[in-house]
Amino acid sequence: MPDLGRYALEVSLAYGLSAVLILGLVVLSVARAARVARALDRAEARRNG
């Protein structure tokens, strides 16, 4: 771990908040993609009998 000196809080905060936002966006996007794909598969299966 590098010595961040007196700005350790600011640098950690920037990296921590960015990680939360990026990972949150990725997780939500992937989860919705999977949910919609499953629902569409079910709807197509009903349609095809």
Partner 1 sequence: MSLWSYANPVRFMGATRPLVPILGAVAGVCLVLGLAWGFFFTPDDYRQGSTVKIIYLHVPAALMAINAWFMMLVASLVWLVRRHHVSALAARAAAPVGLTMTLIALVTGAVWGQPMWGTWWAWDPRLTAFLILFLFYLGYIALWEAVEEPDAAADLTSVLCLVGSVFAVLSRYAVNFWNQGLHQGASLSLDAETNVADVFYYPLLVCIAGFVALFGALVLLRTRTEIRARRLHVLRLRERMADA
| Footprint on this chain of partner 1 (rule: CB under 8 A) | 2-8, 10-11, 13-15, 17-18, 21-22, 24-26, 29-30, 32-33, 36-37, 39-40, 43-44, 46-47
Q: First and final CA of the chain: distance in angstroms?
A: 59
Q: Look up tokens 């700005």; give the residue.
A: 7
Q: How far is the CB of 28 from partner 1 (least distance, A)?
A: 8
Q: How far is the CB of 22 from partner 1 (least distance, A)?
A: 7
Residue 20 sits at φ, ψ, to 5 deg, of -60, -45
Q: How far is the CB of 1 from partner 1 (least distance, A)?
A: 8
Tokens of 42: 């079910």
